[in-house]
Amino acid sequence: MTIPDFTTDNPLRIGTRRSPLALAQAEMAAAAIRAAHGLQDEAVVLVPMLSSGDKIQDRPLAEIGGKALWTKELERALIEDQIDIGVHSMKDVETVRAPEFTLSAMLPRADVHDRLVGAGSLEALPQNAHVGTSSPRRAAQLAALRPDLRFSPIRGNVATRLAQIDSGDFDATLLAAAGLNRLGMTGVGVNLSFEDMLPAAAQGAIGIDHLASRPEIEIFLQAVNDEVTFAAVMAERAFLEALGGNCHSPVAAQAVVSGGEIKLLGEILREDGSERQAGSVTFEANDPDGPSRLAQELIAKASAELRALFTA
């Protein structure tokens, strides 16, 4: 199979959302591809698009379609041959995808912590503090630690959310450390420990997908694929798939790859944080059933109310 020859006259077209963070991540992918294949700058171009998730800012994503809102425009562009590949925050990619699309590469993973913005620590948040978050996972994890906190949805890009903290609309919010770091905001907020807040599955990872009907693109992308990141993220996504549930179901996961083994930590929670079931499993990297064993273990320990969030 011939590897594609992208040139200034026939450039690789990278689809991306228009948000500052999405563009920064797409530029990272473009730079990695240029370096790996010795391409000129003009041989790799960005094609920014406005996603439904960017258009609808007044409601939580979980209420209006979930993760699909971030990806469907890029998927349509792939089908209509407007782009060759799409670049995504892997946290925003649906767990179960249509067979027309293939995830073939992920860049080296960044910091996977959640970062608290607005206070120096969870303990420093005042009693009954108002926290802005549209993430069922983050709200449930914080409620488990601080039942006194109040939560309201917050939407918009990173700058918009930070402005709402500065203006006093909220006492605090939570953002992914990876996104802040990619925007050059390394000094904004404080990382929360994994014991307090296990991250979302695939947090901190940038993925690249394409049409399954173009296997030559898969070969082309292997030059920029970080195998450790890919293995960890795919294990976390398999855990989500085994759990079932939907975008309202609070769940966290983190996989650590060491040699030929993967240690997967996971937790599921009730929305109000009143129940939190956590566990871990270690399995061979080539064992496809490892993530589902952890999912089954957590479901077996859960109350009927918690189980219902994942086994509808």
**Residue 92 catalytic?**
yes
User: What span, in angstroms and rounded, lies between the C-alpha atoms of 264 and 24?
Assistant: 29
Residues 6+ apart with CB under 8 A from 50: 17, 18, 73
- Catalytic hit among 92, 111, 114, 209: 92
Nearest to 135 by CA among 176, 80, 96: 176
Give the integer Cα–Cα distance in Å for 245 and 264.
Answer: 19
* Angstrom distance (rounded) from CA 23 to CA 51: 13
**DSSP code of residue 174:** E
Distance from chain centroid for Cα 178: 10
From residue 171, give the alpha-carbon distance in Å to each of 120, 129, 140, 179, 298.
Answer: 12, 6, 17, 20, 33
Determine how β-strand 251-258 pairs with β-strand 261-269. Answer: antiparallel
Q: Going along the chain, which residue ranges are E strands?
A: 12-17, 44-49, 85-89, 101-106, 114-117, 130-132, 150-152, 172-176, 190-191, 206-211, 251-258, 261-269, 276-284
Structure tokens at 8: 């200034």
Give the type of residue at 8. T
**Catalytic residue ranges:** 92
